[in-house]
Structure 1
Amino acid sequence: MKYKLRARADREACGASDKSGRPGQASWLKITSRPSRRSITVFYGWVIVGLAFVVQFIAVGSMMQCFPVFLLPLTEEFGIGRAQGALPPVAMMLSGIVFSPLIGMAISRFPIRNVMLAGALAMALGFYALSQATTFWQIVLAYGLAGPPAMGAMGSIACNSLIVNWFERQRSLALGLAMIGMSISGAIMIPAATWGLETWGWRGVYKFFAIIPLGLMPLIAWLVVNRPEDLGLAADGDAPAEVGRSAFESAPAAPSSLRALLGTPTLWLIGAACGLSFFGALAVMNHGIAFAIDRGIDPMRAAGMLSAISVGAATGKLAFGWLADRLGEKGAFKVALTFQFFALLGLATLSGYAALVAASGLFGLGLGGIAPLQVALLARSFRGGDFSRALGLIAPLMIPFQIAGPPLAGWIFDRQGSYDLAIWIFMASTLASGFVISFLRLPDAGKPTPQAE
């Protein structure tokens, strides 16, 4: 059976005009079947989710997930040690402290489409610069300058802002679906990059990676629409208001200043709770194989523990997105923390391979759930332009926790010959996260949140 896919702007029913600036921009997608003449109407917000899935798959997969593929070739090329060779991801995270708030401010002031296009261009230029590098400091600089725009301006900050604009009741589920792209990118892009490395060399792979965001730019320019009102629609596909913007604010309020947002306790509570929950995440992933080998597990089988974390994280993004829409963001957050706590307890006390794989999967499940819940908590707490600015500010609050975990675990192992104390510390940080989140007070769903003065 052949299907015909066509886009139509359904504005006659609501009496609104297309404010996206492109005639014929799709507000709904209608799939028609010629033989049966039946049709399926899809809310355009789900197109935004699909685009966010693809964009985050590429941005995170190429910039972050694939870096281990380049580690050994770069150390051999430039004659450096592995500790120095691991600096590019650290440079990305540290520069994100500066870039993320700026990206959040840009999204609150300019069309998200333009910000994403700028991020795609920065990503392309960054990968091309990597392919031409002649010294290792140029590699570190290119990752530090191109990574945050790629993963923030084109990726997570922009994509999450779009989804928050398009969804209210199903927001957490939509966020979780889009973020699955980040979780599965490594499983697909790492083998592809490894094959490319053997075929073209590391410079050739970087050149290929530079082409990918250029190919995304037309898709971004065509499909991105800031919010449903721009197409005469309402969030979640609800019927538009009969008169003007009565279902929404009468006019968008001016975004609060960064200083005002930083003075909001809610931002610090969410940042601290999420940062504490992520404290052990990178440590478990970076030291996971070494931890398993110390338990007498074969290196090839030890890699299965990391695969279990990846599968669990992908599942957690979807499962906790669904759960938050029913249980509430705080309730789902506490469930995710519970999974993390008992998973760490299992890693500290269990020894069998199957049990360790199960504990790893449980850890990934809880960890994967925190990512969409973090954005959902911010979206409930900050509305309008304040949300994208708060999303940009939350990264500098969490990054210190994220980068502290791996060296702490390594330092403890070097002195005690075991990761046990590190795992117990990460369990304590998980409990501390639950304690902090209990102080967070969220507004009722559907009610606008007062902006920071």
Structure 2
Amino acid sequence: MAQSKKNHFINPTKSPFFYGYIILVIGAIGVYCSIPGQTIGVSVFTDPVKDALGLSRNQFSNAYMIGTIISSLVIGRAGVWFDRYGARYVAFFATLTLVTTLFLCSWSVQMSEFIKNTLNNHTWWIPFSLMTCLFFLLRFAGQGVLTMASRNMIMIWFDKNRGKVNMFSSVALSFGFSSSPIWINTLIDNNGWEITWRYFAIGLLIFSVLVFLFYKNKPEEHGLLPDGDSNRTNPKEENKVLAHKQFTLKEAMNTRSFWMYGLMLAFNSFFITGLTFHVVSIFASEGFPKSDAISIFLPGSVVAVTVSTVFNWLSNRLPLKLYLYLMLLGGILASIGFLFLTTPIGKPFLIVGFGIMGGFFAVLNALAWPRFFGRDHLGAITGKIMSFLILASALAPSIFSLCFSTFNSYSLVGYLGLAFLMFLVLGSLKANNPQ
């Protein structure tokens, strides 16, 4: 512990209030700073970047998909790094990687032309391969490592109040993420996509300094306890309260809860990503205008924020298994609304359903893993779960598109979704808290 304090410029024990609240703020900012690597942050750049590189929409989308899939295959290793080196160093190097990648993205046209001229080859494969590599780095560092390290750090600094602090961060991030396409699009319109990516890079470079100064790994490393509890000074007493059996990744993967909760969260990523990516086409295929398609997101966000706020607050009083089944109910409602979009229940079911799923996703993805499996191997466990989520989000646009191009309808996605959810309903009957 003494060594740990030497390596920190800011000593949490000198804070006039519990340092975990600084962790809450800086960790939430860290998740927000991952936007350049999230789908919602990348999608705004799609049209200007693909046109500048001479790529078709399918080629650009496939580069994004391949880069994301590769990211999902290696993100589990970042979880191991988190357990070994802690949030501070992992988030710091993830931020620097994201900074470097954003600068490279802003120079992607020049890099592509340089490679083409060097190889005397002007095929589309060159910008395609270049963007695949850049998308891998964006998704790995942004959506993957920085998000995981920041969220895990917050959860480690709290125990009894974990649900309440997750409530505040979830609400702030929901509004922050939902508004980001607006200001990103404004920056692109005013400055161009290359300068906008450089602005992001400079902002993240400044944030990396804050990461190095304020990110802390565990309260125990600084002589503190989660929640700022000053009454637990006896280590044996501390273990009784915090204690949980500390599951390794292998042990966690041998439990039914790991798979049922993980697959439900992955289904949410799959459905929401596919719906967002193809929403205009989905509604157009049923005879609705673009304005109707876009209009579903605001009320859906209101439902999601309401659900996450209420159930984060109640999380210490209610079993998470109830949350899982309510999230499954949301998925079923969304799938039914998806299938019967032209009926009076279609649009309301879809909005309420994906809103419920999104709200419980914010709760379960943060609270389930430390509560079920402890904190010692949280990085490895959440890294594996993150790989499920990234893979699901990577496959969704192509699977939705394949269903439509093959059957001239998106209905098959809805039926497959219902079948998968019914499997989870049955499989989750014994998905109890392993503790």
Question: Scaled by the length of structure 2, what TM-score is found?
Answer: 0.84
Q: Which has the higher contact order (CA 8 A, sep 6+)?
A: 2
- 2:376 is aligned to 385
Any stretches of 5+ residues in structure 2 without a counterpart?
A: 113-126
Asked if the contact 2:341/2:347 (under 8 Å) is kept, the reply is yes
* Residue matched to 2:211: 220
User: How far does residue 223 in structure 1 lie from its aligned partner after superposition?
Assistant: 2.0
1:439 is matched with which residue? 430
Partner of 1:12: none
Q: Is the 8 A contact 1:308 1:357 kept in 2?
A: no
- The amino acid of 2:98's aligned partner reads M
- Which residue is 2:326 aligned to? 335
* Deviation at residue 106 of structure 1 after TM alignment: 0.7
**Count of aligned residue pairs for this structure pair:** 417
How much does 1:200 deviate?
A: 2.0
Task: Give, in whole Å, the separation in 2 of the partners of 1:281 and 1:24.
Answer: 40
Match of 1:325 among 300, 316, 321: 316
* Cα-to-partner distance string for 1:42-96 (whole Å, 9 max, x where unaligned): 5432322222221111213554312122111122112221011123542442122
User: 2 CA distance for matches of 1:154 and 1:211?
Assistant: 16
Deviations 1:288-315 (A, max 9, x none): 2222233333212321113333443344
Taking the aligned partners of 1:255 and 1:396, their CA distance within structure 2 comes to: 21
Q: Which position in structure 2 is the counterpart of 1:81?
A: 56
> Post-superposition shift, 1:211?
0.8
Q: Flag the 1:238–1:64 CA change in 2: closer, same or farther, 3 A.
A: same
Aligned partner of 1:72 in structure 2 is 47
Q: Give the direction of change, closer, same or farther, for the CA distance of 1:301–1:256 in structure 2 (3 Å limit).
A: closer
Computed over aligned residues only, the root mean square deviation of the Cα atoms, in angstroms, reads 3.2
Q: Choose the corresponding residue for 1:94, options 57, 69, 75.
A: 69
Partner Cα distance (1:269, 1:117) in 2: 32
Which one of 95, 102, 106 corresponds to residue 120 of structure 1?
Answer: 95
Contact 2:300 2:354 in 1 (8 A): yes
Q: Which residue of 1 aligns with 2:163?
A: 172
**Shift in Å, 1:322:** 2.5
1:249-299 CA distance string (max 9 Å, x none): 899999877666655555334333433444423222222222223333321
Q: Mark the CA change 1:197 to 1:255 in structure 2 (over 3 Å): closer, same or farther.
A: same
Percent identity (aligned): 19
User: Residue 148 of structure 1 corresponds to which residue in structure 2?
Assistant: 140
- Correspondence 1:189 to 2:180: yes
SS in 1 for 2:430: coil
- 8 Å CA contact 1:172–1:322 kept in 2: the answer is yes
State the Cα deviation string for residues 127-181 of structure 1 (Å, max 9, x = none): 01111113223222112124212233322x1122212211222323433433445
Cα deviation for residue 216 of structure 1 reads 0.8
Matched, 1:394 2:369: no
* Residues 285-434 of structure 1 aligned to structure 2 (within 5 Å): 285-351=276-342, 356=347, 359-434=350-425
- Corresponding residue of 1:9: none
For the residues of structure 2 that align with 1:297 and 1:353, how far apart are their CA atoms?
Answer: 13
- Find the aligned partners of 2:241 and 2:271 in 1 and give their Cα distance: 44
Give yes or no for contact 2:164–2:313 (8 Å, CA) kept in 1: yes
Q: Which residue of 2 aligns with 1:203?
A: 194
Cα distance, 1:206 vs. partner? 1.1
Distance change in 2, residues 1:313/1:250 (3 Å) = closer
Equivalent in the alignment of 1:25: 11
CA contact (8 A) 2:75 2:386 kept: yes
Corresponding residue number in structure 1 for 2:19: 44
Query: What residue is the counterpart of 2:118 in the other structure?
Result: none
Q: Between Structure 1 and Structure 2, which shows a larger proportion of helix residues?
A: 2
Any gaps of 5 or more consecutive residues in structure 1? 1-15, 31-41, 445-453
The alignment's TM-score, normalised by the length of structure 1, stands at: 0.81
Q: Does 1:105 align with 2:80?
A: yes
Q: CA deviation at 1:379?
A: 1.4
Q: Pick the aligned partner of 1:274 from 257, 261, 265.
A: 265
Number of the residue aligned with 1:158? 149
**Which letter does structure 2 place at the counterpart of 1:25?**
N
Q: Partners of 2:228 and 2:20 in 1: how far apart? A: 8
Partner of 2:105: 130
Contact 1:344 1:359 in 2 (8 A): yes
1:253 and 1:169 map into 2 onto residues whose CA distance is 13
State how far apart, in whole Å, the 2-side matches of 1:317 and 1:89 are. 30
1:57 to 32, 57, 62: 32
Q: Which residue of 2 aligns with 1:229?
A: 220
CA contact (8 A) 2:41 2:180 kept: yes
Secondary structure of residue in 1 paired with 2:76 = helix
C-alpha distance in structure 1 between counterparts of 2:344 and 2:250, whole Å: 50
